Structure 1
Amino acid sequence: MGMSVTIGNATGQDAEQILKLQYLCYQSEAELYGDYSLEPLTQTLDALREEIDSTCVLVARLGPEVVGSVRGRVDADGTAEIAHLIVHPRMQRHGLGGRLLAAVEERLTAERAAARYRLFTGHRSAGNLRLYRRLGYAQVATEEVSRHLRRVTLEKEAPRSLAA
């Protein structure tokens, strides 16, 4: 039938495709919250290239096309902050988001000694919340960002066998 999706490190050459996909994927979030000034919709190409150079950025490819991406970094206390998990709308609901999340968790633990994972989403983002809870994340905080948005923080511990 066709190609399979592969997951690997992003390069500077992927930046434009990632940025376009990010813009596409965050339209529904912007609409949900009535806020089109969300950081993923205003990020510049140069800022994304810097992120690719300085953090762990993974992409999912279907042939040459970037159909998903995720980013992560680990702070001094071993907490991996995972962000910008995106999957092309036509590829959603086929497990790719879960595969990307597992891949970045594994990479951050193996290469950067992550002890726990933390991510954020909006309180109305039911699909995101469902996915994260299904993958073992638990809500640890809620912060009011604006009248229309509460940011939900979720965490889970890294497997000890990987972190050791």
Structure 2
Amino acid sequence: MGMSVTISAAGEQDAEQILKLQYLCFQSEAEAYGDYAIEPLTQTLDELRAELESGCVMVARLGTEVVGSVRATVDADGTARISRLCVHPRLQRHGLGGRLLAAIEARAASERAPKRYRLVITAHRSEGNLRLYRKYGYTAVGTERDRQVTLTEMTKEAPKEAFATSA
């Protein structure tokens, strides 16, 4: 009998697996842009542990293995900044990225009631990533250059009921 993938909040005990997964998943981005100094590949375990303490981090698990991860922080102006969405290469294209994205949005909404969601992604060459975010309601609002990489900024408004009580 096969196992199903579950999504839950990450804990400190997940830090090493998340960091290894992140390193694996962002290799293709680094290769595509010829830049192996991108943040997901240079982040330290201590930096990741600090993120686990201060923000929302969700993981997808297959048994005890972390096979997907995503993070969010909500800033003072009510923007939930979503980052580092990654899914193990062997499980990509099965809807797990969308499930993680929906889970982190729901978690941010339940804890901090954001007014909008924002992604900054290295996707101008990654049509699959752009397609995923558009499917979940995100629209491109600009680009910026970071070293050799063009970053695409995408946003979407949170449902009105998500931030009505915090306004």
Alignment TM-score, normalising by the size of structure 2: 0.95
Residue matched to 2:22: 22
Displaced runs of 4+ in structure 1, greater than 3 A? none
How far is 1:161 from its partner?
Answer: 2.3
User: Matched residue of 1:69: which SS?
Assistant: strand
Residue 140 (structure 1) aligns with = 141
Q: What is the CA-CA distance between 1:135 and the residue it aligns to?
A: 1.1
TM-score in terms of structure 1 length = 0.96
Q: Which runs of 5+ in 1 are unaligned?
A: none
Aligned to 2:32: 32
Shift of 1:7: 0.7
| Aligned match of 1:85 | 85
Output the aligned Cα RMSD: 0.9
User: 1:163 Cα deviation (Å)?
Assistant: 2.6
Q: How does 1:32-71 map to 2 (within 5 A)?
A: 32-71=32-71
Q: What is the match of residue 153 of structure 2?
A: 153
Secondary structure at the counterpart of residue 114 of structure 1: coil
Shift of 1:64: 0.4
Corresponding residue for 1:94?
A: 94
- Residue deviations 1:31-88, cap 9 Å, x none? 0000000111011111111110111011001110000000000011100000000000
Alpha-carbon separation, structure 2, partners of 1:17 and 1:29: 19
Identical pairs, percent: 67
* Alpha-carbon distance between aligned partners in 2 of 1:74 and 1:103, rounded to the nearest angstrom: 15
Q: Report the secondary structure of 1:161's partner residue.
A: helix
Deviations 1:93-145, CA, capped at 9 Å, x for gaps: 00000000000001111111111000011211221111111111001111122
Give the Cα–Cα distance (whole angstroms) in 1 for the partners of residues 59 and 145 of structure 2. 31
Corresponding letter in the other structure for 1:129: L
